Amino acid sequence: MSAILADMPKTDASKTGAPATTKAIAPSKGGRPWTFYVLATLFVFYVIALYGPMFCIYVLSFQDIRGGLVFPMKGHSLHWFVDLFTQVRTGDVKGSFDRSIKLAVIVTVITVVVSFLAGLGFRKRFRGDTVVFYMMIGSLVAPGLVLGLGTGLLFQALGLNASWYTSALGAQLSWTLPFGVLVMFAVMSRFNHVWEEAAYDLGASRWQSIRLVMIPVLAPGLVAVALFGFTLSYDEFARSLQTAGSLNTLPLEIWSMTLNVTSPSLYALGTVTTIVSFIVIGASLGSIVLIQKKRGSSAKG
Amino acid sequence: MKSDRGDIELAGVCKSFDGATYVVDGVNLKIADGAYCCFIGPSGCGKTTILRMIAGHEDPTAGEIVIGGQNVVGLAPVQRRTAMMFQSYALFPHLTVRDNIAFALRVRGMSKADRLRAADAMIEKVRLTQFADRLPAQLSGGQQQRVALARAAITEPRVLLLDEPLSALDEQLRVQMRQELRRMQQDLGITFIHVTHTQLEAIALADLVVVMEQGRIKQAGAARDVYAHPHDRYVAEFMGGQNVLSGLVEKVNGSTFTLAQAAPDGIEVPLQARSTVSVGDKIDIAVRRDDVALVRPGRELPPGCTTSLPSRVLAIEYQGYFVKVMLDTVPDDAFVAYVPEKVFFADPFTVGDVVMATWATGSALPLA
């Protein structure tokens, strides 16, 4: 449509020799309709509302030793970052960060593997498939705090100790798995089953067709599932609260710090965790781009 | 001991997906080694299902599929030594042309150097050398088809199965790739089985044309046989090029019989060995469109013509070397004459003209 509109003035002008009449149909080069400015303003407000609050935290974390919890800025240094990792009174940041990363990695691996297998399973209809599907969605809509509480109680009833790598892992999976499977369904819907048939026709075993055809074709989608799993686990709070046991994950640690730490260390922690998140997201997106670029370049070379 | 022969025998092959309706219903057929066989029929006639059963992607509900003297039901495609070329080619999107073609050798565990050498030889055969490192998405339809062909051929199959291989191409390319398929088949010297719904494609390529309807074979034979001597109304109409008329047998006289029609003296039809007719039978006959001559009323009929049907010209289409004239000769069926261009323009008709449609009596063909 836009191509048609763009072409029309040209032919008009060449016929009539009066380019002025074209203004009514389409704006001249470089000009934009007034709606553009309205929407652009709206977008700017949206971005400020989204990132403004976080930006305050990041800025305040770079104050020097005189720094407080509110503006104005008092000097600038990395003091509070050093404080964060050296002072005991700020809490077990390093330990909880460690646990959160480990937990997120375990959750990611399980989510990717199980979602992929579920994706394979749901390619064909089977008896009770809708029941299985809705049960899965059910755990997604169940309130996280209640689910965490229930998991904690169940562990207690069974006489098991709650800990981040058992009960919290389970509680988090109840959150990441349905998400992962839903993303996987979307990814799978673009996989043409004829590719599998072609692989079988050419003599590939089931395993070879998964390894050499399915996984490489689906790789960008699998990275997306992994990213989902990681980020959902890394900042999970509600389900971990009652299930993490005696050792905190990072979000729990931050929460307890908000109750007793009154220095910009807290903000420094916010900055560090955000950086980690961005690194993970960047690495994931980078790997997707790399996969596609590799295909493109091997195609050219 | 495996045989290298690619002759195929289908014996009582049936296929039902739901246990109630049969998509393929008792098909018996012999295909000679090294033949080019085309299955043709409308969509849903079971032709693709037969192909998939020969390929080993479906198992027949009943019956035997014998390739080279060995019953292959239950065997994997590789054990059958068949290869399939899928309708949309199903090239692996993440692999280059070379890796796509080498795939079959890779899963067999052939070393990288060996399989790439074999793939390159095959790439040269299908003239894709300059595209060897491209991805399928960067190729044209015709190039993709050649990759698919090469990928299937590298397994050294004794039977190659092609599922509507030309349907994704535009008209001009289709004619070109048609010749390439035929050339490839002769080069490889193996049996090709090709499924299509295009009559022209089937008769241009095939040694053996198999016309199907609702899971059954209607007629199987050489292209010329099926086109010029259709068994019944269905085959005649499906293959095209024929006018089909029906009527009641009025009288049987020696080597001919007369069909009552909207003609003063009825239609005289030669009685052929295979048909036994008696007075009162309802019978279909076929007359080739290019056998029909159009004569202005009152003029003398050409020699050999005893029947003439008065008709009005409904429409005229210029087709280049002939002119397609549509007539209202019979009330229920279309009646068309293909008049050679030079003959037509020597005395052109216009829409609405009354003409006599006639043909040499010997060229009318009674149908089953």
Q: Looking at chain B, which residue has its C-alpha nearest residue A293? A: B94
Question: What share of chain B has pLDDT > 90, as a percent?
Answer: 61
- Whether pLDDT at A234 is above 50: yes
CA–CA gap between residue B105 and residue A11 (Å, rounded)? 57
State mean pLDDT over A26-31: 61
Is residue A16 over pLDDT 60? Answer: no
Distance CA A97, CA A251 (A): 9
pLDDT value at position B327? 92
Judge whether B147 is closer than 8 Å to chain A, CB to CB: no
Q: What is the pLDDT of residue A12?
A: 41
The answer to which of A203-207, A245-249, B13-17, B231-235 has the lowest mean pLDDT is A245-249
Closest CB to A203 among B57, B86, B104: B104
Q: For residue B88, which residues of chain A lie inside 8 Å, CB to CB?
A: 192, 194
Contact A205 B83 (CB under 8 A): no
Residue A203 and residue B92: Cβ atoms within 8 Å? no
Tokens of A171: 């509680």
Torsional sign, CA B96, B143, B93, B83: negative
Whether B259 shows a pLDDT value over 90: the answer reads no
Average pLDDT on A240-256 reads 84
Q: Do A195 and B107 touch (CB under 8 A)?
A: no
CA angle B130–B131–B137, rounded 5-degree value: 160
| Residue closest to B121 by CA, chosen among B87, B113, B25 | B113
Lowest-confidence pick of A73-77, B58-62, B104-108: A73-77
- C-alpha closest to that of B243 among B321, B318, B338: B338
Q: Which amino acid is at A293?
A: K
Residue A192 touches chain B, beta carbons under 8 Å: yes
Average pLDDT over residues A102-125: 92
pTM of the model: 0.77
Q: Which two tokens stand for residue B320?
A: 């280049």
Q: How confident is the model at residue A87 (pLDDT cuts 50, 70, 90)?
A: low
Of B87, B107, B138, the CB nearest to A202: B107
What's the pLDDT at A29? Answer: 60
Spatial CB neighbours of A178, under 8 Å, sequence gap ≥ 6? A136, A137, A139, A140
* Percent of chain A whose pLDDT exceeds 70: 86
Residue A28 has pLDDT above 60, yes or no: no
For residue B82, what are the CA distances in angstroms to B159, B321, B344?
5, 42, 50
Q: Is the pLDDT of residue A22 over 70?
A: no
Q: Which of A202, A295, A299 sits opposite B104 (nearest CB)?
A: A202
Q: Is B343 on the interface with A (CB under 8 A)?
A: no
pLDDT at A10 exceeding the cut of 50: no
Residue A72: asked if its preceding bond is cis (omega within 30°), the reply is: yes
Average pLDDT over residues A112-119: 94
Residue B65 has pLDDT above 80, yes or no: yes
Answer yes or no: is pLDDT of B94 > 50.
yes
B143 touches A at CB < 8 Å = no
Is the alpha carbon torsion for B85, B88, B90, B92 positive or negative? positive
Q: Do the bridges between strand B36-40 and strand B191-196 make them parallel or antiparallel, or are there none, so unpaired?
A: parallel
pLDDT band of A26, cuts 50, 70, 90: low
The residue type found at B116 is L
Select from B90, B108, B152 the Cβ nearest to the Cβ of A197: B90
Reported as a pLDDT band with limits 50, 70 and 90, residue A208 is very high
